[in-house]
Structure formats: structure tokens, C-alpha cells
């Protein structure tokens, strides 16, 4: 088993007033040659945008983009005609393909919105741009202490998908609850990021917003060390 640890306090950071952002991997003015990507996982940005502000219309191409709101509301518009407002429990995916222009704005004029924006290298270039969003019941007692798959590889008829052999899972766990995540393919790795609380992943204690990449293993043991701990798991190919 091989691992790479990224503590929250060592991430790239920029505060633009309207945007307070933390970068797990190299992005914009933050560059670390040892933190450019984890396999096909290219970007995890932890963004907080003030009320009434946001990212104006800008282009993307040949990238799979997943947005996960943590609190507040995020309004999305894109050149495919996609338009919606997502809130905690919602997930949005966009395959930029041949090129798409989109905006992401705080859907509230006063309260901030916080969300993860995650980029994954695509396995299929120059596709027709596409957009999806769906709601998940992460927070119910019924779904506690289990992983919920939120994004998988596609194309497929059901569920959110991207053009990459990748899986996104998240879950909320009670203190002491453990799972053994099985890596689906031997050439894959798993990146685990603590959204809230504390976890032990592959023997490494992680606090809020800490992350760890794990590869060259068949499975990864994950234990929650706090009540209502929430974790995000992203399994990706290690070769891109």
C-alpha cells in the first residue's frame, strides 16, 4: 500500500474577498509540483462565496466537473441550456467536452455558499457537452453509516455519471463505525477527504478537510472517530 497525505492546513489558499478558496491540488496561483493531481483526479477546490457573488461566465473543455454544495445554494447556468440551483444533498456533474461556458453564482444575496468543485480528467475527449444534477438523502437515519454512490462511470441510463472510470461516494457515520472500501480495479487509487469530523483512513488519522490518497492495495479501512463524521471518497485510475 502506498499513501500520500494532504493536511488541510497545507493546501493552497487564496482569499479574494468575495471568494475564499482552498486548493488540494495545484490551481491558479498555487503550484506544488508534488501536488498536481492524484491519478485522474485533477482538482478539489473548497470554495466559499459571499452573498450575491460568484464565478461569472467562463469556459471549460475536455474535463469532467463535479460540484458538491455543503451549505447555502449555488445557481448554475451553462451554454448547453442547463440551469438550476443546487443545495446540500444535491450533486451536479458537467462533461465539458468540446467546450462549454458556464457560471456559478451564490443563489442567495446575503448568506454565503460553500461547495467543493472537483475536476477529473476525461477518458473521452471532444464529446458533446452535457449536464446533470440529482438529489440524495445523505442526512436520513436510514442512510447513516453507509456509503452513498453519487457519481459513477458512464454513459449509463441511471444515476449521475462522467466520462471516466471513476466512482464518487459519500457518507455520514457515527463514532466507531467502520467500513472496508474495496478498490474496484487494481490500477485504481482512492482519495479520501474528510468533510466534517475525524476519521482514520488506512491507519492515518484525518481531521476536518484533511485528505489522503491510497493506492497499490485491494481495500482501504475507514473508521469514523466522531459523531456525524462525513467523508468523501473518490476512486480513480492512477494512470492518465
Task: Give pLDDT tens digits for 85-136.
Answer: 999 999 999 999 999 999 999 988 889 999 999 999 999 999 999 999 999 9
- Which DSSP string corresponds to 53-91? -EEEEEEE-SEEEEEEEEES-EEEEETTS-EEEE-TTEE
Element (H, E) at 151: strand 148-153
Cα-Cα-Cα-Cα dihedral sign, residues 221, 118, 79, 155:
negative
pLDDT beyond 90 at 72: yes
Which one, of 167, 164, 152, lies nearest residue 234 by Cα? 167
Cα-Cα-Cα-Cα dihedral sign, residues 172, 70, 23, 119:
positive
Task: Give pLDDT tens digits for 7-43.
Answer: 999 999 999 999 999 999 999 999 999 999 999 999 9
- What is the rounded average pLDDT for all residues in the chain? 96
Distance CA 152, CA 161 (A): 5
pLDDT beyond 90 at 79: no
Strand order in the sheet with 90-95: 12-15, 19-23, 41-49, 113-121, 63-71, 90-95, 130-135
C-alpha grid cell for residue 193?
A: 477527504
Within 13 Å and on the Cβ side, how many CA atoms surround 33? 0
Domains, the chain, in order of start with CATH, read 2-237 (2.60.120.10)
Task: Give pLDDT tens digits for 185-219.
Answer: 999 999 999 999 999 999 999 999 999 999 999 99
Amino acid at each position: 500500500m502506498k499513501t500520500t497525505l494532504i493536511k488541510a492546513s497545507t493546501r493552497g489558499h487564496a482569499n479574494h474577498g468575495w471568494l475564499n478558496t482552498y486548493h488540494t491540488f495545484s490551481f491558479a496561483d498555487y503550484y506544488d509540483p508534488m501536488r498536481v493531481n492524484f491519478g485522474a483526479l485533477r482538482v478539489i477546490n473548497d470554495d466559499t462565496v459571499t452573498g450575491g457573488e460568484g464565478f461569472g461566465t467562463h469556459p471549460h473543455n475536455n474535463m469532467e466537473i463535479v460540484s458538491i454544495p455543503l451549505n447555502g445554494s449555488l445557481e448554475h447556468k451553462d451554454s448547453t441550456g442547463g440551469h438550476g440551483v443546487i443545495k446540500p444533498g444535491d450533486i451536479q456533474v458537467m462533461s465539458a467536452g468540446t467546450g462549454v461556458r458556464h457560471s456559478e453564482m451564490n443563489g442567495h444575496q446575503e448568506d454565503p455558499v460553500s461547495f467543493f468543485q472537483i475536476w477529473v480528467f476525461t477518458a473521452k475527449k471532444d464529446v458533446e457537452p452535457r449536464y446533470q444534477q440529482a438529489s440524495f438523502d445523505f442526512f436520513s437515519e436510514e442512510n447513516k453509516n453507509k456509503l452513498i454512490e453519487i457519481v459513477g462511470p458512464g454513459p449509463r441510463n441511471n444515476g449521475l455519471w462522467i466520462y471516466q472510470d471513476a466512482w464518487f461516494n459519500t457518507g455520514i457515520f457515527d463514532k466507531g463505525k467502520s467500513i472496508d472500501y474495496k478498490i474496484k480495479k487494481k490500477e485504481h487509487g482512492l482519495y479520501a477527504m474528510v468533510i466534517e469530523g475525524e476519521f482514520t483512513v488506512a491507519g492515518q488519522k484525518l481531521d476536518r478537510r484533511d485528505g489522503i490518497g491510497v493506492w497499490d492495495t485491494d481495500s482501504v479501512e475507514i473508521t469514523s472517530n466522531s459523531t456525524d463524521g462525513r467523508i468523501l471518497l473518490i476512486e480513480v485510475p492512477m494512470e492518465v
